[in-house]
Amino acid sequence: MNPLEKLASSARIETTGHDAPDACGKAVVYRMRRAQRAFDNPALEAAIEAANLLDKPVVVFFGLLARHPHASLRTYTFMLEGLCDTAERLLRRRIGFVMRICPGAASEREFARFCSEMRPALVVEDEDPLRRHRERSRTAVRAPLWTVDADAIVPSALLAKEHYAARTIRPRIRENLAGFLKPVGNREVHVPFKEPRGLEKVAPALSLLQSLPIERSVAPAKDFRGGTTHGLAALKRFVNQRLRAYDETRNHPETDGTSRLSPYLHFGHLGPHTVALMVRDAEAPSGSRDAFLEQLIVRRELAINFVRFNPRYRSLDSAEPWAIRTLSEHTRDRRAYRYDEKRLEQAETHDELWNAAERQMVESGWMHNYMRMYWAKKILEWSASAREAFDIAVRLNDRYELDGRDPNGYAGIAWAICGKHDRAWGPERPIFGKIRYMSYESTRRKFDSRSYIERWSR
């Protein structure tokens, strides 16, 4: 087995297409999707290692969708801030970066056109578990294709199937963790990329927001700046200031002892290896470090496993049979309160704690994880059916959360509304059946809810 074949056989890489790279190709092309970073990126590093073996340069392609169902000033501002950072970092590493604006909601045609111009020796993509169930045309790209899992520490392909709870996936992750929780490395390219004359590209800049047909009613998030540089700064603040007390304060929304790193992980501005290694090696109590790593690795990769192996992850159909059965049995139960999606979106319910959570999401682009659970369960309680509740929760989450459209969000909604990764609870309750219940009274006893409500009141 030659060095390139050995690299291609890595557990993190899946290969399709032609057997051998095109020796006449001009470069190794990395098609950047979810891992929008030039630092600690396993997909980029695989492309560089392959390019060095082939004695080729590396060029990154990113297709910016002009239209997208959730394209808003909030999401595109954060994403473009990150792409500006990434472009600068790639330049310093002597790697090319070509961004093109793709009409419609797909970038396949534009990428095929780019490949016809560039003639790649090899194409590398970062794996996006949310896209695995969609057909993608490869006929126009005449080069081998490698997809690299840059989103999980333990490659999700190793788990082979959908796992049903943290208790089933945890042993599989732990038995593989030592082999994968290592520094990614940021190697040098042997051949710098020299841009061909006339190569079409668009420089990433916030000024692009003025011409893109995106939704402008969802304002940028004031407390978050996109990009690896800002993500690393946020990570260091968390490790230095809040990690020590994480195990005690993480479920207190009024003090917010969490990392607030989920937007950076969602857009790939930070990778999980970077975060896990810094937390693992931090001078903080082991209880707090272990609690955080449980969330970052086991729980987050359980969510990735869910969307990778369950194509119905955005709907109630992703639930287990016991959950579908118990929710169906309580479909006709009387609802003391009923709210349509518009009133929920405007935080016009009788529940001041729920209203505060909704306002936090709408105004800031982020909601504390403990409140996300309560938020989704109340939508179930106040909707005509569990199916309607699931759909509403997904739409609101994906519209306003910076970390929306993410495995963690879909898994969290499924946990709250249809008991995904949970178990049946008794005794049965109206509406919920055997789905775990959360009440205003019990929730507000766990933290200073009055401070949280006052902070997010009108």
Residue 83 contacts by C-beta under 8 Å, 6 or more apart in sequence?
36, 62, 64, 99, 204
Question: Along the 458 residues of the chain, how does pLDDT read in single tens digits?
Answer: 899 989 999 989 998 866 789 888 999 999 999 999 999 999 999 999 999 999 999 999 999 998 888 899 999 999 999 999 999 999 999 999 999 999 876 788 899 999 999 999 999 999 998 875 444 445 457 789 999 999 999 999 999 899 999 999 999 999 999 999 999 999 999 999 999 998 999 999 999 999 999 999 999 999 999 999 999 999 999 999 999 999 999 999 988 899 999 999 999 999 999 999 999 999 999 999 999 999 999 999 999 999 999 999 999 999 999 999 999 999 999 999 999 999 999 999 999 999 999 999 999 999 999 999 999 999 999 999 999 999 999 999 999 999 999 999 999 999 999 999 999 998 999 999 999 999 999 888 889 999 999 999 87
pLDDT of residue 366: 97
CA gap 233, 269 in Å, rounded: 12
Q: If DSSP states are collapsed to H, E and C, what string results for 329-373?
A: HCCCCCCCCCCCHHHHHCCCCCCHHHHHHHHHHHHHCCCCHHHHH
pLDDT of residue 256: 84
Torsion, Cα of 226, 228, 230, 234 (10° steps): 110
Within the chain, which residue ranges are assigned CATH 1.25.40.80? 152-186+228-311
- Phi–psi pair at 121, nearest 5 degrees: -75, -30
Within the chain, which residue ranges are assigned CATH 3.40.50.620? 3-151
The token pair at 304 is 């990735």
CA gap 161, 354 in Å, rounded: 36
CA gap 240, 249 in Å, rounded: 15
pLDDT of residue 137: 43
Give me the DSSP letters along 249-274: HTT-TTT--S---HHHHHTTSS-HHH
Among 3.20.20.30, 1.25.40.80, 1.20.120.450, 1.10.8.10, what is the CATH number of 152-186+228-311?
A: 1.25.40.80
pLDDT of residue 150: 97
Residue 135 contacts by C-beta under 8 Å, 6 or more apart in sequence?
none
Helix axes 286-293, 272-280, angle to 10 degrees: 160
Q: What is the DSSP letter of 178?
A: H
Q: Is 316-455 a domain of CATH 1.10.579.10?
A: yes
Among 3.40.50.620, 1.25.60.10, 3.40.50.1100, 1.20.1600.10, what is the CATH number of 3-151?
A: 3.40.50.620
Q: What is the DSSP letter of 425?
A: -
What is the amino acid identity at position 348? E
Within the chain, which residue ranges are assigned CATH 1.10.579.10? 316-455
CA gap 258, 336 in Å, rounded: 34
